[in-house]
Amino acid sequence: MSDYRPPLEDIRLVLEEISDISAICGLPGYEHVDSETIDGVLDELARFVAEVVAPVNQVGDQEGCSVADGVVTTPEAFHTAWDKFVEAGWGAISQDPNYGGGGFPGVVQTVMTELLATASRAWSMGPMLTVGALDALHAFADEGQKEVYLPKMITAEWSGTMNLTEPQAGSDVGALTTRALPQDDGSYLIFGTKIFITFGEHELTENIIQLVLARTPESPPGTKGISLFIVPKYLVGDDGSLGARNDYRCLSLEHKLGLHASPTCVLSYGDSGDGAVGFLIGEEHQGMRYMFKMMNNARLGVGVEGLAVTERALQQAADYALERRQGRAIGAPAGEQSPIVEHADVRRMLLTMRAYTDAMRCLLYLNAATIDVANRHPDPGARQAASDRAELLTPISKAWCTDVGVEMSSLGIQIHGGYGYIEETGAAQHWRDSRISPIYEGTNGIQAMDLVGRKLTMNGGSVMAELLAEITSTINDLVEAGDGFTSIREGLADALDAMQEGGVWLAANGLANPVDAMAGATPFLRMFGQLVGGWLMARLALGAQRRIDAGEGETTHLATKVVAARFYAEQLLPIVRAQLGAVTAGGRDLFEVPADAFSA
């Protein structure tokens, strides 16, 4: 497996041209941060992930995790990397300064999530989930709970999780049966089993703060009867000291396709019969609302996983293509084998990976910056508009990026040829690690249904309409950009027309027959993601060209962004129109075949 090189030039260009990091730093609460400070932080962070986290990636995959008598063992290298992460203070970067955080914008946290996940997907799951738990606690816990739990979680001395899924419920969270019985001292006793709990048990941190969904007695059925509880691995005294081990246990670890070093646990609460001590967060029966705070953070983070695996697979495939000699490229001297990077089809695959990497980074950093505006802008109207935009972009960030990540990690194997299918090269690990991401945090089909069922019609459709108007504005900007941008403008305009046609059809037919809308939801999400990716690539290319014209930056790097945007518009944006038939086909054919015929 090749060494990881953090792509700081690409990251900084997207932060400036797409996220408008200077404007983000001007928001209330970020006065202590500027672009120069962020540049310095990114330099140090890049060094840290390359030297400390990246080396644990392949060894973690090979060693994996194990459990014995409820104790989970992770690779020894994971412990060393985690201790250095704590020592360096990276967990605090974007957290509340009132509890020991650094107070940087959330978009900087997204950059850190990318760098950590690209360095080692399995290791990065622990910090990512802790950030999500911190968001939920910061938003909904009472002040006493914040004082007890936030400082140690911010330093990453304690980690955090979320416990939703149960064996009988799956994605239907409303079917969960875990019980929370109230006690006289205000605490609760938790009984039940949770599955698929990432980093639910390990020895990397002093304590694990489980956020557990459960039902109190006589709660209403479905999601309306769910409450959210803090269930620490070790009970915490008033002075912050650790006390008795709580009554829950890791029964087993899942044997997974990938992410072998990330412990995915089956947890039994009340395993000894006493009940695990838990503490209610906020109000009873508001658990799903609270958990969505964490889930939306996690959905953005999972989307970043799609970017991360593509970046890592691209770097490895490009290194291999430069070194591997096979065949004679057109125009090469007779009798010589050429590096495979000289073959047109390999170039096509590499440029596809390059273009999607840029498009995903633009989308994810824009989504993160939009959340910063929603949280911090002084104007309530601007905050609400940004919040609406973030809600619209989040299912795209999660689903489109993770689907593309699987496709691109597979393409990375293809570039390696037969050697990509052999584990020693490391190319297969990227694909194996990527495959869970479209399932995490609500499967991508659920994200598509959310997009079509809720987000498409938000505020009477005005949220979608405002985004499409911005795309139209960029198309107008491309008219003035010269001949080199003609195909970008034409491709984006055609994709926008197809997207609007699909949206109009769904809005008109979905009300009459919701099955028709749901049948077209997944291809519509692909249309939307592909369009937004093309729009942001066009904006990035316009910014790169302005810098070239002004004599700023490294010309070859900037020119590559223009070429990648043109390639995306000509060869990848046509996917938008190609999906239109699937969006408008309706659900008839899906139910024409009897259900039992699929197994015939």
Q: What is the pLDDT of residues 344-361, one digit of tens each?
A: 999 999 999 999 999 999
Q: In percent, how much of the chain has pLDDT > 90?
A: 89
Residue 508 has pLDDT above 90, yes or no: no
Average pLDDT over residues 324-338: 90
Q: How confident is the model at residue 214 (pLDDT cuts 50, 70, 90)?
A: very high
**Tokens at 566, concatenated:** 């043109």
Give the CA count within 13 Å in the CB-facing half-sphere of 264. Answer: 13
Burial of 574 (0-12, 13-18, 19+ CB in 10 A): middle
Q: How far apart are CA 162 and CA 141, in angstroms?
A: 15
Which of the pair, 525 or 2, is modelled with greater confidence? Answer: 525
Tell me whether strands 188-198 and 264-269 are parallel, antiparallel or unpaired: antiparallel
- H-only helix segments in 451-513: 462-479, 486-512
Residue 295 has pLDDT above 90, yes or no: no
pLDDT of residue 599: 86
Q: How confident is the model at residue 69 (pLDDT cuts 50, 70, 90)?
A: very high
| Helices 8-17 and 521-549: angle between axes, nearest 10 degrees | 100
- Least Cα distance to 554 among 5, 3, 12, 4 occurs for 12
- Least Cα distance to 111 among 354, 291, 366 occurs for 366
pLDDT of residue 466: 97
Cβ atoms of 583 and 505 closer than 8 Å: yes
Q: Which of 441, 470, 501, 592 is catalytic?
A: 441
Cβ atoms of 500 and 543 closer than 8 Å: no
What counts of helices (H) and strands (E) characterise the chain? 20, 12
Count the Cβ atoms, other than its own, within 10 Å of residue 114. Answer: 25
- Least Cα distance to 303 among 64, 49, 532 occurs for 532
Cβ atoms of 69 and 135 closer than 8 Å: no
Q: In percent, how much of the chain has pLDDT > 70?
A: 99
Amino acid sitting at position 296: N
Residue 2 has pLDDT above 90, yes or no: no
Residue 147 has pLDDT above 80, yes or no: yes
Average pLDDT over residues 478-502: 96
Residue 510 has pLDDT above 90, yes or no: no
Q: Residue 598: in which H helix or E strand, if any?
A: none
Bridge partners, 231 (sequence order) = 210
pLDDT of residue 420: 96
What secondary structure letter does DSSP report for 186? S
Residue 371 has pLDDT above 80, yes or no: yes
pLDDT of residue 223: 86
Cβ atoms of 449 and 524 closer than 8 Å: no
**pTM for the whole structure:** 0.96
Tokens 């007695």 belong to which residue? 217
Q: How far apart are CA 206 and CA 186, in angstroms?
A: 25
What secondary structure letter does DSSP report for 518? H
441 flagged as catalytic: yes
Tokens 């950590």 belong to which residue? 116
- Least Cα distance to 430 among 255, 301, 257 occurs for 257
Bridge partners, 284 (sequence order) = none
600 Cβ contact list (under 8 Å, min separation 6): none
- Least Cα distance to 440 among 321, 205, 262, 284 occurs for 262
pLDDT of residue 260: 97
Q: How far apart are CA 231 and CA 178, in angstroms?
A: 13
Give the CA count within 13 Å in the CB-facing half-sphere of 294. Answer: 27
Average pLDDT over residues 34-56: 97
Average pLDDT, the chain: 95
DSSP per residue, 540-596: HHHHHHHHHHTT-S-HHHHHHHHHHHHHIIIIITHHHHHTHHHHHS-STGGGTS-GG
pLDDT of residue 170: 66
Q: How confident is the model at residue 502 (pLDDT cuts 50, 70, 90)?
A: very high
